[in-house]
Structure 1
Amino acid sequence: MKNDTIQPILSRLFNRLRQSGFNLGVGEYRAALQAIEGGYGSSSLEELERVLTLLWCHSRAEQSQFQFIWESVIADTSTVEPKPPRRTSKPEPSPEPQDKPLPAPSPQPVESVQPQPTLELAPLPIRAPFTPVETEDTPQLQTDRPISRRAMVYSWRYLRRPILDDPEDVLDERATVETVARQGFFLTPVYRRRERNAAHLLLLIDQDGSMTPFHRFTRDLVETAQYESSIGQVDVSYFHNIPAKSVYRDPYLTQPVLLKRVLATCDNNTSVFIVSDAGAARGYRRLERIRATTEVLFQIKQQTNLIAWLNPMPQERWGSTSAQLIAHLVPMYPMDNDGLSHAIDIVRGQPLPP
């Protein structure tokens, strides 16, 4: 027997015996290999069986169990002759089909051309040209505020009434140089009094009703005059439609105060601004409003003539309303950049613009 045949039988038998409980190890396996290499058990399977029985079996029970396992291992390792490979026959090439003659093309029918009918020319109807009807120019609506907060701050800078009544703590450079040039030597600098803006502004603002859309503007007008300008004194009073006997200290019209008490703080240098639509927002012309406004203007003019009226509605909307008549009693300007600038010129004593 060849070693190639003995080795698979020996290794498989050894593993099967160990799985069955035989006390075998590496020493027993090497002893079997040495015996086979020495010529014992290499001639036939019967001789190999006897040699392995002597080496690996230590009792009769193991010998009988060895005999059963040996037969199963020999049956599993029996060699099977390989079958010869099948010969695959190549398919014979099929004969190429012969070219068939193409059928003759069928003659196509010739389309008959029919003459198109001639169109008769006819005169078209004449349409008169479109002539638009002349309409009056309508004022353009403004989608944003008519005047910005920045423009208000800039305009308030021109409302000034400077006086020199503060302590003399400002260096007068020009006077100092003139004194040194006149005396020929320098002794002490020349100081002048600090300049202060003593302008007094009274704002009478129409609140609620038709003036509700302009609350943002009136609030900016008040805030810029009080906190972002150099005006010395700013007083604000609110009214609804007409500044009658009583006005209000707050924009919610909850703190009434007599108009006489408000006007008592004014003098001939006080600038008065009235902010109201004067009925132009709703297109009203009411004699009661005109009479009441005339009386209030008369009371104000007893204290000061520096009065101007700001109307949030454009000037085109003043016609046929109370604002048209009130504009003849007091200088009235629209609520925009130019209007605020002209109104400030009026309340600071400048002549009316041409």
Structure 2
Amino acid sequence: MIIDELPLLELFHRLQEAGLPLGIDEYHLLLRSLQAGFGLPNRAALARLCCNLWVKSAEEKQIFDYHFEQVMQKPVSQSKAVVFTSITEVEQQKVTPRLIRYGALGGIVVLILGSVLMVQSFNNNQQKPTPASSSTPTPTPTSSSTPTPTPTKTFTPSPTPTQIPTPIPTPIISDNFFTSENFLLILITLVLGSVMLLSRISRAKRRKLADKFSTQPNQNRKITTLPAQLNKRETDEIQIAQTLRKAVTKQGFLLNTNYLPVTRRQMKQSWRYLRRLVREGLAVELDVEATVNEIGRQGMLLEPVFVPPRVNRIELILLIDRDGSMVPFHSLSQRLAQTALQGSGLHQVKIYYFHNCPTGYLYHDPAHVEAEPVSKVFQHLHSQRTSVLIFSDGGAACGRWNPERIELTAEFLQQLRQQVRYLAWLNPMPRNRWQGTTAGEIACMLPMFEFNRRGLDEAIAVLRGKTN
């Protein structure tokens, strides 16, 4: 299998559109693995390599299998045609503005020269004497010198010499026509011919480029003699650039939600560490240590020792601050709640919403419609199994100091500590923004962490009871 002929780019975009959290780093990692020799023997090896690098759950595995089968059924020529059409489009975009500039420049030159010639011809026509004024002085002396008798003889020869020079103005008209209109038409013809010539040259260049890319794969294998490291580096950069280019030209901008401080995959990984194992149920798991001790006491194996399996019985209560200063963090809180419900593996997860401070009522929905009294929520908490995580800015987003909010929060935390042992606070604002605000005072009452990967792991460690 040849790396350049694999439709990896199309597969990558299909998986991104299907919802897999893939970025340029994951695509770059696949290219480096292929260049190192992994996944090249056959199609099954390529599928295993892509699964190991990109797939992290059974649901993602089903999505990958479907799109992998769809992409790999297409012939390689289709992927080459996509690259070729994109290249010809770019060349055409480069040539078209050039022709427009040449045509506009030629039109401006024609207008300037035409206006100059028209003004010059108009001035020449005004300065030249008319032929009627030059023929008038000839008959005046003859009329004054002749006597009055004999009018018949002098009348017959006189009109013949005066009417002979009448065809003189014809060459003047031909000269004016040649120097103005005819020259202007010739100039316009030359400009149009040059524009047509440039367009034909551009078409010839595009045909040559098409012939070049139609025979390029076989030629590149014979001619290229670059070192292996340089060749790999250039191939990586070209394919990554094509990935970005295709993603940008498709919609004009990149649609990506991975700008949040913690990705969906990282949240799921962190939630899996929130465990409190308790042995419950039937004794079906072999206790190796107890069995060995029993053999040591009795000298032989009479009966193995079984114990109930370990079950994660931790219960998570997630309290999310909603609306107000928390509007910019709605997507982050939604992702936190979804990952806790779906991929955490927790025994029980309950999510409640509040605004600024949880006083009186907690709400089951983000719109604050389904309310439940705080006292009723506290009745269902288990002191040894329940852990409470609060997600709020604590007033740090506004940068304010609110004594009333501090007092109400302290009262709520005091009631909560009477019901549960493990309690933590996640703040979406950076730690340097807490000082001088309500959040800085609340951070002295309970463990508060900045919401990033490290802060989430530390908060979960507190909920497990590992640190204080």
Query: Taking structure 2 as the reference length, what is the TM-score of the superposition?
Result: 0.42
Residues 184/348 of structure 1: CA separation in 2 closer, same or farther (3 Å cut): same
State the distance in 1 between where 2:383 and 2:360 align: 21
1:312 Cα deviation (Å)? Answer: 0.3
- Partner residue, 1:209: 324
Q: Which amino acid is 1:301 matched to?
A: R
Q: Deviations over 1:93-137 (max 9, x none)?
A: xxxxxxxxxxxxxxxxxxxxxxxxxxxxxxxxxxxxxxxxxxxxx
State the distance in 1 between where 2:340 and 2:295 align: 42
State the distance in 2 between where 1:290 and 1:185 align: 66
The answer for unaligned runs of 5 or more in structure 1 is: 1-142
State the distance in 1 between where 2:292 and 2:441 align: 58
State the distance in 1 between where 2:369 and 2:294 align: 60
State the distance in 1 between where 2:294 and 2:422 align: 41
Q: Secondary structure at the match of 2:281?
A: strand
**Counterpart among 444, 447, 451 of residue 328 in structure 1:** 444
- Partner residue, 2:426: 310
- Partner residue, 1:152: 267
- Partner residue, 1:258: 373
1:264 Cα deviation (Å)? Answer: 1.4
1:178 Cα deviation (Å)? Answer: 5.0
- Partner residue, 1:198: 313
1:245-284 → structure 2 map (5 Å cutoff): 245-269=360-384, 270-284=386-400
Count how many residue pairs are aligned between Structure 1 and Structure 2: 211
State the distance in 2 between where 1:346 and 1:256 align: 29
1:304 Cα deviation (Å)? Answer: 2.0
Q: Identity over the aligned pairs, expressed in percent? A: 43
Q: Which amino acid is 1:304 matched to?
A: V
1:1-354 → structure 2 map (5 Å cutoff): 144-176=259-291, 178-180=293-295, 183-269=298-384, 270-352=386-468
Residues 184/232 of structure 1: CA separation in 2 closer, same or farther (3 Å cut): same
State the distance in 1 between where 2:450 and 2:427 align: 5
Q: Which amino acid is 1:349 matched to?
A: G
Q: Deviations over 1:74-98 (max 9, x none)?
A: xxxxxxxxxxxxxxxxxxxxxxxxx
1:182 Cα deviation (Å)? Answer: 5.1
Q: Which amino acid is 1:322 matched to?
A: T
State the distance in 2 between where 1:343 and 1:225 align: 14
Query: Taking structure 1 as the reference length, what is the TM-score of the superposition?
Result: 0.55
Q: Which amino acid is 1:273 matched to?
A: L
State the distance in 2 between where 1:339 and 1:325 align: 18
Q: Which amino acid is 1:151 matched to?
A: Q
Q: Deviations over 1:26-53 (max 9, x none)?
A: xxxxxxxxxxxxxxxxxxxxxxxxxxxx
Residues 186/301 of structure 1: CA separation in 2 closer, same or farther (3 Å cut): closer
1:311 Cα deviation (Å)? Answer: 0.3
- Partner residue, 2:116: none
- Structure with the larger strand share: 1
1:186 Cα deviation (Å)? Answer: 4.4
State the distance in 2 between where 1:158 and 1:303 align: 23
Q: Secondary structure at the match of 1:280?
A: coil
State the distance in 2 between where 1:177 and 1:304 align: 39
Larger radius of gyration: 1
Q: Deviations over 1:157-196 (max 9, x none)?
A: 2222111121112233454455456545544443221111
Alignment RMSD: 2.1
Residues 176/350 of structure 1: CA separation in 2 closer, same or farther (3 Å cut): closer
State the distance in 1 between where 2:410 and 2:293 align: 55
State the distance in 2 between where 1:304 and 1:173 align: 34
